[in-house]
Structure 1
Amino acid sequence: MRRFPRYGSRTGSPADAAMAALTVFALCSGSWLLRDAAGTQAPPQPSAAQAGAGLDGRTGGRERAAVPALPPSPPVRIRIPAIRVDAPLTGLGLTSTGSLDAPPTGRRNLAGWYAAGTTPGEQGTAIVAGHVDDAAGPAVFHRLGALARGSTIEVDRRDGGVAVFTVDAVEAYPAKDFPDEKVYGAARRPELRVITCGGPSSPATGYQGNVVVFAHLTGSR
């Protein structure tokens, strides 16, 4: 498990800092992976060419131009055309141990977002997560590691709008060296992280790391 700050439209406030010490995030353990999956093709991993040198979550990553932040509105669907993702989103809370809960197993084309945090399009860092596979085969974010910089992510919102993000980087991290602040840190612009399992895996341990997509808001409609 690792620290996972709660975020809202006032990311970086003293209240957020206090909550960060109490909240942890676990991915690729327990129900995130049904480890007896048979015959599942290994998910692609991001290449060095897709890494984002200089990304810093504390300052909103590279200071590229971004469009104005959107008002809060829960997300209902995520689309990533380059890897053929078109999936509903469900709100995720925390378990009794303080870990981020997982989307229900058995629903392979379902992703989740951290519902106590920033909504996609708001100023700050919004978090979306989903399974890479399960016992039946590839799941919603199986091809996340194949995503390229410059790709588009669209998030449908409950208010009827669509938040459009551009991918800045796609990176993979071993669990023991996961860069919490870089991934979850406060941002001055609207940013999105999309996370799934990645790295080497075995039946005994499951996946040994995470694939993380870094993106920022570049449009809306």
Structure 2
Amino acid sequence: MGEEVQITAYLADFLSDEAADGLEKDILEIKEVEGATYISKEDALKYLGEIFSGQGDVLEGLSKNPLPASFEVKLKKRFRTPEDVALVAKKIERMNGVDDVVFAREWLSRFYEVQKIVKVAGIIIGVVLSVAVIAIIAITIKLTLYAKRDEIDIMKLVGGTNSFIKIPMIFEGMMQGFLGSVIAVGALFLTYRYFMEHYYKDVGLFFGGIEVNFFDPEIIIYFFIFGISLGLFGSIISFGRMLKT
């Protein structure tokens, strides 16, 4: 969420195409701006017609196009806080040819407050789950060591070092962590797809039309690395006393 946060700048009717091109360049020069899309009066009316496509001839009575041309301004990812959005909106509002600037101020503030709460809750849940994963892997490795204690004793008698015994167990723990993270990502993706297909249409207005995306590939890779790290840590802490006895 937050990928589609936009500012809409409505243009004055007297603005020529050349002036609109110059205004677009001025908007793109703002450091916080990632891109700007020009929406002509005709495109705006066409889009409105699509919205009311099931309402009969609602727009046929119009003698002329009442909609203004506009720019849909998208901000760079790091500048999508309510404060930055408001600052950019003021900059655009002061430009010649801009009649009005609109963005969901109150909704955006609520959105980021909810996002902060979700992040804190995510951290807490993540810590609890991480501890649980480490404990499960550590216990699993200990049970494996206990079940193979006779084999381990024989290995030691014939000169097997602790490192020789540990390495397979470490790889086993890392594999368990990786598989656990794969299952977790898969479950999250299925939940996301189910939500988007069955519920997003009903609650989409609450999100202000913002597209709800799944995790970026980079985040998923980090998630896998984190799972492997948990498996590594869990397997390492399980050895200690087991190999000394």
Higher strand share: 1
Superposed pair shares fold, TM > 0.5: no
Shorter-chain TM-score bucket reads under 0.3
* TM score, norm. by length of structure 1: 0.25
Higher helix share: 2
* TM score, norm. by length of structure 2: 0.23
